[in-house]
Amino acid sequence: MKKILLKFLTISIEETTAEDMEHALRVATAVLLVEIARADFVVEPAERQRLRQLLEQEFQLTEIELDALLEEAEADADRLVSIQHTTRLLNEHYDHAMKRRVVEMMWRLVYADGEKSHYEEHLIRQVADLLYLSQNEFIQARHNAEPA
């Protein structure tokens, strides 16, 4: 992702293709989901499966595309120093409704293993703040994602 972000910072918007931008947004979204899966220091099989489901549903990906996206997102998450550049990209290119969906996807992933840790909640709160979502939207996303 760093490579993609550097590309966007060094070339003009006119030179950026819609396909490149869509890919960068998918990677950024996947990085946030990978980060939330790792937030409690244990990635359960249920979380990995749910992560795949969420990305597949949101972006209508094939298995091959999904594998490639997750591989790139995990590598980027390994190098991630701050989530601010990731959320900045989402802020610049996602509408408010999509940013709410990203936070809700993060909550859905948290509940995949049946437990919610304070590390996970803190990270989602931080992302929601960086995406300029209100406290009410943060809470609503959590309630929408809670298991029935």
Question: Residue 105: pLDDT above 60?
Answer: yes
Q: What's the pLDDT score for residue 10? A: 45
- Rounded percentage of the chain residues whose pLDDT exceeds 90: 76
Question: How many CB atoms sit inside 10 A of residue 95's CB?
Answer: 8
The domain containing residue 37 runs over which residues?
A: 2-145
Q: What's the pLDDT score for residue 139? A: 96
pLDDT category of residue 15 using cuts at 50, 70 and 90? low
pTM for the model stands at 0.87
Q: What does the DSSP assignment read for 52-102?
A: HHHHHHHHT--HHHHHHHHHHHHHHHHH-S-SHHHHHHHHHHS-HHHHHHH
State whether residue 14 is helix, strand or coil: helix
**Domains in the chain, number:** 1
pLDDT category of residue 1 using cuts at 50, 70 and 90? low
Mean pLDDT, all residues of the chain: 89
Question: Residue 5: pLDDT above 80?
Answer: no
Beta-carbon contacts of 26 under 8 Å, excluding residues fewer than 6 positions away, are: 55, 59, 69
Q: What's the pLDDT score for residue 11? A: 44
Beta-carbon contacts of 83 under 8 Å, excluding residues fewer than 6 positions away, are: 31, 32, 35, 123, 126, 127, 130
CATH number of domain containing 140: 1.10.3680.10
Per-residue model confidence as pLDDT tens digits over 120-146? 999 999 999 999 999 999 999 999 999
Instruction: Tell which residue, 20, 35, 7, has the closest CA to residue 93.
Output: 20
Per-residue model confidence as pLDDT tens digits over 60-86? 999 999 999 999 999 999 998 899 989
pLDDT category of residue 8 using cuts at 50, 70 and 90? very low
Rounded distance, CA 28 to CA 23, Å? 9
